[in-house]
Amino acid sequence: MKNILAFLILVIVYPALFAQDFDIKVFADTLKYKWDSPASRYEYREDLLFRTNLLKKYENEKLNIGFNITKSMLIPGMGHFQTKNYLRGQILLSTEIILAGTTYFLYDKSQEKYDKYHNSTQIDEMNQYYSDANSSYKQASLTAALFVVVWGYNLYDTYVVTKQYNDRLWLKNVDKETNKKIMLTPNGVSIKF
Amino acid sequence: MQLKIKFIIFSFLLLLLASCTTNKYQAAESILKSGNYPIAIEEFDKLINISKNGYEKTLSENSRSEAYYQLAEKAKSLNNYNLAIRLYYLANSNQADERLIDCYMELVEGFKTKDDKNRILSTYNYIINYLYLSPRVPELMYYRLNSIYNWYNDKPQVWDYYCELFTKYPESEFVKKSQVIIDEFLKEKIDNIVQEKKNNEGLDLIIETLIELKKYPSSYQIYISKEISQIYIQLAENDIKSRDYIRADQNFRKALEYDETQNDYVNKRLKEVCDLFINHGNSLLAKRQIDDAISFYNRAFTIIPEYSVAKQAIARAERRRVEISKAEELKQDGLQLDRKKKYAEALEVYKRAYQLDDTDELSKLIFEMNNVIQIEKDPKAFALKVINQYEGGIIARRVAGLKADLVKKWGKDVRESGWKAIGSATRMKMELRYDFITPDDNYFLSWQVNMKDKTVIPLNKLTEKMIGK
């Protein structure tokens, strides 16, 4: 706990340690963005305007990372299905089902042995049932822990794939609009402005 | 219990990680909203450099632009124009560009008070060349043009700027404003160009220059058109002189395109050009070159379609073709009759042919046929008539002269034979003789008369000398 606190303090203080003096010449240098000609400056502006026009569309189509993680919290792999990563979603979902089923089976088995242990009257039987119940319980705990680990990984991976999905979505929209601007026609290449 | 705490910390870190990037943008946004623009710009710059998400980058770039703009506004409110100009430039938006121009214009006002013309013009040039997408550029182009005219009276430069203004912004109200300045010296410019036409050289170049001038609006559009028309007419007249009628026609028509009031003159001249074709055709027709003549008549139609004079000329040429053909047939008939010795009929046929086609050949045939008819009647009398009429009676006069000389010398001792015809007229030729005998000498005069063509050939040196050959 102490280590974590120390790390957080370092993260906050680090930029201040290496902060440089504010240089107005550098700050207001008109060549800092490499607009070395009026054309390149206007070109940048045009490109930014083009991308700005895509913001609304992107906002409507993008996946909310928090909401997608919540879905994966409730049903593992659900967030992956939303991002069209079906295989990973299926693997995670089936792994969680198998682990949950196995845990339930082993827990049930341990309870059954435990009941038999309670109802047994002979010392050998008592030892045997207790040992079996204990062994099954340990196995059930292990699979339950695995279930939690996979569930946790499922949440982390949902975050990663949702982010990737959103990044790809932006690029796809940009490509789509660019292709609308530049079209191959029977008369040659047509460029819309 | 400890496990539960670890689980909660793990979940918190996970959620922190999930919202990490969004928080960076939002943090920069909140800095921007708090008005700490330089820090916001630094944060946006960092985010733009590291972010892989285009959406986030775009948002950051827009916010950065806004931050620069706001910062520039602050600098401008403190009259720090140099910084404001740089920051507006970095804001790189249409709105920022307009404010940037405002800054420059305020600087220009300062230069005006110092009468610093060079810096004023440099500022205009900078805005025009570097902020060329601004809607205020036409206005600045007008200011530049106006300044150059008023300060330096550099008319060629003013004209170039005007052309540039009109080419780039033809619909701008500042074109009209600039036109007022242009109108002040354009007439003089046109007149200087047109003056060159007096040399009658480089007319094409003058037209080209005037057409170029006409592209740009001015109050002298009609004036330029009339001048262009005049030069085209001059070109056409030159073409007529060099007999290039087709090109003359083209130039006349171009002249009309520019000035319709020249219609009467051009039509008159085109008619005259057509008439030149007709006249040339007529001369070819006179030379019996009927196809060539028709070809020339047809060329008149390229200038005036359905030109009635050309039509009549073609009809005349076709009639002539028929007449010549018929005359040829009649001539052949005449020759047949001649061979059959039907001279009177042959003569009639030749005369009819001659009426259709008055060629030398037919004329000769008629002449000879007339002679043949007379030979048929009395060859000797005709031969004598020929020799008496030969070159206005020269032979008869010389013979009489010789006789007078001899009589003067010898008196009655001179004897003469009179005219004697020797030979038959079968070959249309006859020899005529006249002899003088004196005590001292004899003179034997002898000629051959070709009766068919009425020619006389001296047959000895004495007669040769007599007719001077």
User: How many Å apart are CA A14 and CA A3, to the nearest integer?
Assistant: 16
- Confidence at residue A182, expressed as pLDDT on a 0 to 100 scale: 63
**Hey, how many other C-beta atoms are within 10 angstroms of the C-beta on B227?**
23
A174 close contact with B: CB closer than 8 A = yes
Q: Give the pLDDT confidence of A2-60 residue by residue, as tens digits.
A: 555 555 555 554 555 455 567 888 888 889 999 989 999 999 999 999 999 999 999 99
CB neighbour list of residue B73: distance below 8 Å, 6 or more residues apart:
B84, B99
Closest among B265, B262, B242, B240 to B250, alpha carbons compared: B240
CB neighbour list of residue B2: distance below 8 Å, 6 or more residues apart:
none
Question: Could you tell me the two tokens for B383?
Answer: 């031969």
Amino acid at A132: D
* Separation in Å, CA A110 to CA A100, A123, A148: 15, 19, 20
Chain B CB contacts of A59 under 8 Å are 55
Inspect the interface and report whether the beta carbons of A66 and B18 lie closer than 8 Å: yes
User: How many Å apart are CA B81 and CA B103, to the nearest integer?
Assistant: 6
- Confidence at residue B425, expressed as pLDDT on a 0 to 100 scale: 57
The rounded Cα B298 to chain-centroid distance in angstroms is 21
Buried/exposed code over B328-352 (b: 16+ C-beta within 10 A; e: otherwise): eebbebbeebbeeeebebbbbbbbb
Interface of B with A (CB under 8 A): 9-10, 14-15, 17-19, 21-22, 38, 41, 52-55, 58-59, 61-62, 65, 83, 86-87, 89-90, 92-94, 129-133
User: How many Å apart are CA B44 and CA B413, to the nearest integer?
Assistant: 154
Closest among A141, A146, A140 to A76, alpha carbons compared: A146
Inspect the interface and report whether the beta carbons of B58 and A45 lie closer than 8 Å: no
Inspect the interface and report whether the beta carbons of B54 and A171 lie closer than 8 Å: yes
A24 close contact with B: CB closer than 8 A = yes
Q: 66-85 in A: which are within 8 Å (CB) of B?
A: 66, 69
User: How many Å apart are CA A86 and CA A69, to the nearest integer?
Assistant: 16
- Confidence at residue B16, expressed as pLDDT on a 0 to 100 scale: 56
Helix (H) or strand (E) holding A190: strand A188-191
A149 close contact with B: CB closer than 8 A = no
Mutate to test the interface with A, among B55, B94, B126 (most CBs of A within 10 A): B55
Give the three-state DSSP class for A66. helix
Query: Taking CA atoms, what residue in A is nearest to B129?
Result: A38
Inspect the interface and report whether the beta carbons of B14 and A174 lie closer than 8 Å: no
Burial class (CB in 10 A: 0-12, 13-18, 19+), A80: buried
User: How many Å apart are CA B3 and CA B26, to the nearest integer?
Assistant: 33
pLDDT band at A187 (very low <50, low <70, confident <90, very high): low
pTM above 0.90, yes or no: no
Q: At residue A190, does pLDDT exceed 80? A: no
DSSP codes of every residue in A30-41: TTTT---SHHHH
Chain B CB contacts of A33 under 8 Å are 90, 92
SS3 of chain B: CHHHHHHHHHHHHHHHHHCHHHHHHHHHHHHHHCCCHHHHHHHHHHHHHHCCCHHHHHHHHHHHHHHHHHHHHHHHHCCCHHHHHHHHHHHCCHHHHHHHHHHHHHHHHHHHHCCCHHHHHHHHHHHHHHCCCCCCHHHHHHHHHHHHHHHHCCHHHHHHHHHHHHHHCCCCHHHHHHHHHHHHHHHHHHHHHHHHHHHCCCHHHHHHHHHHHHCCCCCCHHHHHHHHHHHHHHHHHHHHHCCCHHHHHHHHHHHHHHCHHHHHHHHHHHHHHHHHHHHHHHHHHHCCCHHHHHHHHHHHHHHCCCCHHHHHHHHHHHHHHHHHHHHHHHHHHHHHHHHCCCHHHHHHHHHHHHHHCCCHHHHHHHHHHHHHHHHHHCHHHHHHHHHHHHHHCHHHHHHHHHHHHHHHHHHHHCEECCCEEECCCCCCEEEEEEEEECCCCEEEEEEEEECCCCEEEECCHHHHHHCCC
Report whether A159 contacts B44 (CB < 8 A): no
Amino acid at A138: K
Give the three-state DSSP class for A185. strand
Residue B15, min C-alpha distance to chain A (Å): 8
The rounded Cα A21 to chain-centroid distance in angstroms is 38
φ, ψ of residue A182 to 5 degrees: the values are -110, 110
Residue B128, min C-alpha distance to chain A (Å): 11
Q: Give the pLDDT confidence of B120-152 residue by residue, as tens digits.
A: 999 999 999 999 999 999 999 999 999 999 999
CB neighbour list of residue B18: distance below 8 Å, 6 or more residues apart:
A65, A66, A69, A159
Closest among B162, B160, B247, B269 to B203, alpha carbons compared: B247
Give the number of beta-carbon pairs within 8 Å between A and B: 73
Question: Could you tell me the two tokens for B453?
Answer: 């063509």
- Confidence at residue B33, expressed as pLDDT on a 0 to 100 scale: 94
Measure the CA dihedral B409/B414/B420/B422, to 10°: -90
Angle formed at CA B328 by CA B299 and CA B284, multiple of 5 degrees: 25
Mutate to test the interface with A, among B25, B36, B90 (most CBs of A within 10 A): B90
Q: Kindly give the interhelix angle for B94-113 and B117-130, rounded to the nearest 10 degrees.
A: 170
Split chain B (469 residues) into runs of 10 and give each run's mean pLDDT: 63 57 80 93 94 91 96 94 94 94 94 94 95 94 96 95 95 95 94 87 91 95 95 92 86 92 90 88 92 91 87 94 94 93 93 92 92 88 90 89 90 89 76 90 90 89 81
User: How many Å apart are CA B247 and CA B236, to the nearest integer?
Assistant: 7
- Confidence at residue B13, expressed as pLDDT on a 0 to 100 scale: 64
Radius of gyration of chain B (CA): 54
Chain A CB contacts of B89 under 8 Å are 30, 41
Inspect the interface and report whether the beta carbons of A28 and B17 lie closer than 8 Å: no
Average of pLDDT values for A90-117?
Answer: 95
Question: Could you tell me the two tokens for B277?
Answer: 């074709």
The structure tokens 């900078």 sit at: B126
User: How many Å apart are CA B136 and CA B247, to the nearest integer?
Assistant: 48
User: How many Å apart are CA B371 and CA B377, to the nearest integer?
Assistant: 10
**Hey, how many other C-beta atoms are within 10 angstroms of the C-beta on A40?**
12
Chain A CB contacts of B64 under 8 Å are none
Mutate to test the interface with B, among A3, A8, A42 (most CBs of B within 10 A): A42
**Hey, how many other C-beta atoms are within 10 angstroms of the C-beta on B50?**
11
Query: Taking CA atoms, what residue in A is nearest to B61?
Result: A48
User: How many Å apart are CA B74 and CA B87, to the nearest integer?
Assistant: 10
